[in-house]
Amino acid sequence: MLNNLRIVRSCIAVCLILVAIVGLVRYQSSSATPFSPSSLSSSSSSPSSSSPTMSVVHTVLFQFSADADPEKVKETCRHFISLKAACVSATTSQPYILSIKGGKDNSPEGLQGGITHGFVVEFASAADRDYYVKTDPAHQAFVKSLDGLVTKAVVVDFSNGEY
């Protein structure tokens, strides 16, 4: 019964985070659309799309190890944020991540389910997101650096308005 309650609380926490993210995306989409190098690429092995596509929001939630050095956690968070510049298209050699935001949890609701930090990464297309997740060397190196530091990760991707 207690495990079921924890699962429900974790699901509620993820839903609340997604609601907040959707609000953020709506706010951001009302301002000027940033340039995306993905529209310049035609290779399928790197971020590409020459047809109009919906952006993809990639949410990442981490539970850092309870005994993790706080300075190492901050360094890891800064490293994550730096991927916006470090992740470049293999075709254009230009950054393709539209935005990255993140930080330490500060919710008073108590529904975090152990999650300590959250990040939101926006891509111009699913192709850009797929390249990032599956191929990008900077992202792959970052993922390897998490070994032993992160005890739980939750990733949810969506395109705004697709329900």
Mind listing the pLDDT tens digit of every residue in the chain (163 residues)?
Answer: 545 444 445 544 444 444 444 444 443 444 433 433 333 333 334 444 444 568 999 999 999 999 999 999 999 999 999 999 999 999 999 999 999 999 999 999 999 999 999 999 999 999 999 999 999 999 999 999 999 999 999 999 999 999 9
Phi and psi at residue 26, to the nearest 5°: -60, -40
Which tokens sit at 18? 């997604």
Adjacent-strand bridge partners of 137: none
Report pLDDT for 90: 92
Q: At what angle do helices 70-86 and 137-145 cross, to 10 degrees?
A: 170
Strand order in the sheet with 56-64: 97-104, 117-123, 56-64, 150-158
What pLDDT was estimated at residue 30? Answer: 41
Residue 52: per-residue pLDDT: 56
Instruction: Look at the chain and count its residues.
Output: 163
The secondary element (H helix, E strand) that includes residue 62 is strand 56-64
pLDDT at position 3: 52
pLDDT of 93: 94
Who's near 35: CB < 8 A, 6+ residues apart? Answer: none
Query: What tokens appear for 9 in the block?
Result: 């609380």
Task: Give the C-alpha separation, 13 to 107, whole Å.
Answer: 10
Q: Where are the domains of the chain?
A: 2-158
Structural contact between residues 121 and 60, judged by C-beta atoms closer than 8 angstroms: yes
CATH class name, domain 2-158:
alpha beta
Distance in Å from the first CA to the final CA of the chain: 30
